[in-house]
Copies of this chain bind each other. A is one copy, B any other.
């Protein structure tokens, strides 16, 4: 709960702003929860539309509901642009782009049928849900995971490079060993097989037939089985290590920028350190 200096005349724009972008007033919270349900429902509608039997029976109704949601989200998008102090900053922020992508496919589907299924990208809007609990535990825990992954990013990159090199080399060997008649029709396809095997997914759409191929595959599997210990070890070790000194975090203001979702503002900050929006 940030303390806000008492102000004589709060404009309608500021009121609308606090409803749409914030969630610490009853109205703002109600707006966020309504939005959440609208997103969930619209995603379900898009999913149902893709099921042939349901589409055959209720297709027109579903498409009508979908258009309804799109119009709703379009209005919401325009409202956000109007009430925010810096419309361009919002439009180009990650959340702004997701908001836009959540409307675009319906319009595009007029020209390019089928693209409306991309509307499930609306699921990404659910990320806003965390804002409702913004002072709660979720943000902190989510940040803990992200911080641990960030701290391990160079290790993970080195690991991924090693994995990709291994997959290319073994994929090629399998292409030479097994050949096209056993499903290894090209090197890219063999690399795909190597990834399927190393990650222990193992569809079985392509599998080695020759003795040499099965031996090579066995080596790859045992490698994949042992190698998985590496990323796990990296992240475990990172998470077990106290990364931030205990005194530092409470020194930040418990506020999230509504435009760019930046956190870790200085206690006395009045503007976002990243995009300059008023906090």
Interface positions of A (Cβ within 8 A of B): 43, 46-47, 50-52, 114-115, 117-118, 120-121, 123-124, 126-127, 137-138, 141-142, 144-145, 148-149, 154-161, 163, 165, 168-169, 171-173, 175-176, 180, 185-189, 191-192, 195-205, 207, 211, 214-215, 217-218, 221-222, 224-226, 228-241
B residues less than 8 Å from A176 (CB atoms)? 114-115, 117-118
Do B145 and A155 touch (CB < 8 A)? yes
Do A237 and B236 touch (CB < 8 A)? yes
- Least CB distance from A241 to B in Å reads 7
B residues less than 8 Å from A149 (CB atoms)? 230
B residues less than 8 Å from A186 (CB atoms)? 47, 50-52
B residues less than 8 Å from A200 (CB atoms)? 199-202, 225
Do B158 and A138 touch (CB < 8 A)? yes
Do B145 and A159 touch (CB < 8 A)? yes
B residues less than 8 Å from A233 (CB atoms)? 148, 232, 235-236, 238-239
**C-alpha spacing A235/B159, complex, angstroms:** 14
Candidates B51, B144, B222; contact of A188 at CB < 8 Å: B51
> Of residues A163, A171, A237, which shows the largest number of chain B Cβ atoms within 10 Å of its Cβ?
A237
Give how many copies assemble into the complex: 4
**Known contacts A123-B165, A214-B192, A240-B240; is A156 also within 8 Å of B199 by CB?**
no
**C-alpha spacing A175/B214, complex, angstroms:** 17
27 CB contacts below 8 A, A to B, read A43-B168, A51-B188, A120-B168, A120-B172, A123-B168, A126-B161, A138-B154, A141-B157, A142-B158, A145-B155, A145-B234, A149-B230, A156-B226, A160-B222, A192-B217, A197-B201, A199-B221, A199-B222, A204-B205, A205-B207, A228-B228, A229-B232, A229-B236, A232-B235, A232-B236, A233-B235, A236-B237
**Known contacts A145-B234, A154-B137, A172-B118; is A196 also within 8 Å of B202 by CB?**
yes
**C-alpha spacing A144/B237, complex, angstroms:** 12
Do A214 and B189 touch (CB < 8 A)? yes
**C-alpha spacing A112/B230, complex, angstroms:** 39
Do B192 and A218 touch (CB < 8 A)? yes
**Beta-carbon nearest neighbor of A133 in chain B:** B154
**C-alpha spacing A150/B224, complex, angstroms:** 17
B residues less than 8 Å from A199 (CB atoms)? 200, 221-222, 224-225
- Least CB distance from A89 to B in Å reads 25
B residues less than 8 Å from A160 (CB atoms)? 222, 226
Candidates B124, B191, B222; contact of A195 at CB < 8 Å: B222
Candidates B142, B175, B226, B240; contact of A237 at CB < 8 Å: B240
B residues less than 8 Å from A215 (CB atoms)? 192
